[in-house]
Structure 1
């Protein structure tokens, strides 16, 4: 069964209500928290004449169902590199006219070489930000700092552990089990990961879905260890005076890269390309880096708007840092197997 047929069959079971198509001069973006933050979006709206309406997702698995139901609601999306190819294969997005995007040639060549954002010689995704799915703990809860994924299975931490509500939980459990081929797991390995997650479930306080939800759990002292979007939730907690530490476990961490994509048939092309140009400029790149703490895709913009310390901390001087991470990959026809396993865990 093809990816497209599988997804269409799955999504056909969902009942979602679409919003009205937005007026010309307005762009509706389906994106992650922080990617349309008023701290840099407000200036764009003032200077461009384009109004931005943002709807936020908590998982890459949100994009396909919302676009399937959308009927022209969304103009731009920002899926991660394991999901961009699916958007292309499902015919949800259209090729970019890269000649309209200033700074395109300043994007790290490593990102432009990725298969997941291109097809038949055309680019469908504009690399935007990247980083790691690290792990995090509250400093005051540990005398000895945790170092392993296995620490999320500790009985003495029962009720104080959280895990992202996402199919990537299968990746986490697989690495704990010693299966490092996390994007090409066999049925047996997926079953083993599912079993480990079911065993962990009584220890979980809550599966977190949004950055704000995880931050609130840490602030209340209800959670002391979890995985995290590296740089983001830890910075939000620091602003609240909560001391946390991020770490890459001995079993390694996943890496990701998010790209902006234009939804096929968007009537707001002029504003869409103005928005893409802003997001790849110093305004957008340092805007999102300052809000989310993520690394960015435009090396020249980063160097111009970041302090030398921030540039180094975000590995902007060392994009090969990505090679040390297990970069998300499309799951192809295995997508359903991973998703079903994760949903089965939550249904227990």
Structure 2
């Protein structure tokens, strides 16, 4: 297993900027509302392949064996389709959006914080899922999401998903926590040894917790916060800051901190928890009773793709059962294709990552873009846009 989500970790959420005129619904399986993208049409059929395809991807998504001889799903694609793959690794969602605007790339592996921007700007075209045969086997929970569709029209093919978990040292944190309260109201119990994800999007984690614990705030969507709701989340995080020993964006630092005991409780990803445990850390990671935030990636086709037929071939290839299994294991995420679980080398992989457990994913609020037009559908108030989340995050950290 190779953990390759990390190049995005430091910058991914800091790129969550979307035109204020755009809107979407909350996370988790309902298509965006209030968003009126340009009237683009998906192709009705495919033509001859063009001989090449230009991709933008997160590190670990387009592997040709040069980084790891065992990780190569590019050469087989090239041999089968005649489409030579040219890929560029992006370090952030903001970089992906800028690159897509050039019109030089055919497809991109966009996260939820970038996908709506690409849809709203017209840089991503609607996708005809009938031209992607493997789409039929994609888990239902990844289809028609708030981050990858508009009014029932898909704008990409889901690639994978992951949750932001609560991890704790089983020897030093007792009794075992069940709630995010362990890193919020009760954080002082482990003062100096609490860790949190270093990103403005982490404000949504506090909002998700308040949604359950302070019903009078009436939070419906952790990415749609009016001023009162936002202030409450920021206040909670400022309180938490007094107990935080380190904010993390580098997985190696988090693993090291849990191994040394510098960190004993905080937010993490499943792949990091697995790695920490494999290196001797006494840890457990889980979704607390309030639920969690999370991320989902989608392969989207440029509205100006010069090689659209090869792009569609790639979309179908990357979510084919065997390849999707390879990517998921190499990257450290739950695969999108339901048949991929039968192809993983570790037969317990999909169980560990809850790949087929739709009840599990119903508890996850996937990253979305906070904008002034409230994502939860409210019309009587304005919500706090992401640029102010960025400002508040600086204040929170002091």
2:224 touches 2:370 (CA, 8 Å); kept in 1? yes
Q: Does 1:93 align with 2:141?
A: no
Q: Select 2:192's aligned residue among 159, 184, 187.
A: 159
Q: Return closer, same or farther for 1:92/1:166 CA change in 2, 3 Å cut-off.
A: farther
Deviation at 1:130, TM superposition (A): 1.9
Instruction: Provide the secondary structure at the position in 2 that maps to 1:135.
Output: strand
Q: Is the 8 A contact 1:124 1:261 kept in 2?
A: yes
Is 1:214 paired with 2:254? yes
Which segment drifts farther, 145-154 or 208-217?
208-217
Number of aligned pairs?
Answer: 325
SS at match of 1:116: coil
Residue by residue over 1:117-152, the C-alpha shift from the partner in whole angstroms, topping out at 9 and shown as x without a partner, is: 234764311111123221112334324323322222
Pick from 289, 300, 316 the counterpart of residue 261 of structure 1. Answer: 300
Equivalence for 1:195: 235
Aligned position for 2:54:
27
2:19 alignment partner in structure 1:
4
Cα distance in 1 for residues equivalent to 2:133 and 2:387: 38
Distance 1:52 1:80 in 2: 20
Shift of 1:311: 3.9
Q: Which residue of 1 aligns with 2:176?
A: 145
Q: What's the offset of the Cα at 1:196? A: 1.8
Task: Please state whether the residue corresponding to 2:165 is helix, strand or coil.
Answer: strand
Q: In structure 2, list runs of 5 or more residues that go unmatched.
A: 1-16, 23-50, 375-382
Aligned to 2:392: 344
2:72 corresponding residue in structure 1: 42
Q: Match for residue 362 of structure 2?
A: 323
How do 1:234-273 and structure 2 match up within 5 A?
Answer: 234-269=273-308, 271-273=310-312
Alignment root-mean-square deviation, CA: 3.4
Q: Give 5+ residue unaligned stretches, structure 1.
A: 8-23
Structure 1 CA distance, aligned partners of 2:135 and 2:99? 31
What is the distance in 1 between the residues matched to 2:387 and 2:266?
20
- Residue 79 of structure 1 aligns to a residue whose secondary structure is strand
1-structure distance, mates of 2:99, 2:114: 18
Deviations 1:279-326 (A, max 9, x none): 201233211332344222211233454766444444344323322333
With over 3 angstroms needed to count, the CA separation of the structure-2 counterparts of 1:113 and 1:344, relative to structure 1, is: closer
* 1:55 match: 89
Q: What CA distance in whole angstroms lies between the structure 2 residues aligned with 1:200 and 1:170?
A: 12
What is the CA–CA distance in structure 2 between the aligned matches of 1:74 and 1:213, rounded to whole Å? Answer: 34
Structure 1 residue matching 2:61: 3-state secondary structure: coil
CA distance in 1, matches of 2:311, 2:350: 28
Q: Secondary structure at the match of 1:273?
A: helix
More helix by share: 1
Query: In the alignment, which of 287, 304, 317 is matched to residue 326 of structure 2?
Result: 287
Residue from 315, 318, 340 that aligns with 1:301: 340
Inter-CA distance 268–226: structure 2 relative to 1 (3 Å threshold)? farther
Report the TM-score when normalising by structure 2: 0.69
The CA distance in 2 between the partners of 1:30 and 1:305, in whole Å, is 22
User: Does the 8 Å CA contact 1:170/1:338 hold for their aligned counterparts?
Assistant: no
Shift of 1:245: 0.7
Measured against aligned partners, the alpha-carbon deviations of 1:28-53 in whole angstroms (never above 9, x if no partner) come to 4232x543455565242365163454
